[in-house]
Copies of this chain bind each other. A is one copy, B any other.
Amino acid sequence: MEIPKFKTLEIFQKSPNPSVFHLILNNPSLKSALSLDFFTEFPKALVSLDQNPNVNVIILSSHGDHFCSGIDLNAFNSIMKSQSDDQGRVRERLRRVIKGLQDAITAVEQCRKVVIASIHGACVGGGIDLITACDIRYCTKNAFFCVKEVDLAITADLGTLQRLPGIVGYGNAVELALTARRFTAEEAKGFGLVSKVFESKSALDEGVYSMAKGIAMKSPLAVIGTKEVLLRSRDMSVDQGLDYAATWNSAMLPSADLTEAISAQMQKRKPTFAKL
């Protein structure tokens, strides 16, 4: 399956095995700021990776010194600009534009494949929106984070206020969003925002790749099921989530993957799973 080309993103695979793909924000001169093009291309990239049977896990990282410095000023200006004279129409359009940007971020959750954020340097504003939509987050020791929006007179609207509280706790989320203070990799680890802190960018790259490989070699059916059941259960009662999981597994559990996993366990060998 051919890998599409993008202006703001690079996609590549280091080696055909395992099924780990790199999705890289490619805007180093602007500290990986998120441009309008990014918001158009990012969901397309994820759809393409989702449909590509060679992909099991996606590592999201950035070229240059920083993971993401937020939405870029030109993008923001074009979001705010409207051709209508009518304030009602201006705002109706603005609402749709914001919802379009939100959809671009939520595309990470709608991708069945696991998306791991690999963060170094700054992760600020829109960068937080982006990583909170990812499944797992790792970072370097010198990474730093900032829910920056309030400092720009903005109420964050691309997902941070919805997803961060569930990740770091409601109290921590409020404090970070209202003070817009910078916090360190260590703090992020303590909050549960990142799962591990690496000493350097090269250690991060190696470590995340190794984690990604680990997931990529598991049953793809079980991996996407785990992602989807977690996401769906997040917005349901526990009882509803349990029923959903039972219904999911009544469809997906009896599979070649399960047979292979059990047989491999009995034969004390590593299982091999078909592509998804």
* A172 engages B152 (CB within 8 Å): no
A47 at the interface (CB under 8 A from B): no
A178 at the interface (CB under 8 A from B): yes
CB within 8 Å of B: which of A50-93?
A: 73, 80, 85-92
* B250 engages A91 (CB within 8 Å): yes
Complexed CA–CA distance, A236 and B114 (Å): 25
CB within 8 Å of B: which of A214-265?
A: 214-215, 218-219, 221-227, 229-230, 232-258, 260-262, 265
Q: Chain B interface: which of A27-35, A37-45, A155-163?
A: A155-163
Q: Mark A144-160, 1 if CB is under 8 A from B, else 0.
A: 00000111111111010
Complexed CA–CA distance, A153 and B85 (Å): 17
* A102 engages B253 (CB within 8 Å): no
A193 at the interface (CB under 8 A from B): yes
A12 at the interface (CB under 8 A from B): no
* B86 engages A150 (CB within 8 Å): no
Complexed CA–CA distance, A156 and B245 (Å): 8
Interface SS, A side: helix
A3 at the interface (CB under 8 A from B): no
Contacts of A244 in B (CB 8 A): 244, 247
Q: Chain B interface: which of A16-24, A118-126, A199-207, A268-276?
A: A268-276
* B153 engages A258 (CB within 8 Å): yes
Complexed CA–CA distance, A52 and B58 (Å): 37
Contacts of A159 in B (CB 8 A): 238, 242
Interchain residue pairs with CB less than 8 A apart (9): A87-B87, A98-B250, A135-B174, A152-B265, A157-B242, A157-B246, A165-B233, A169-B169, A178-B227
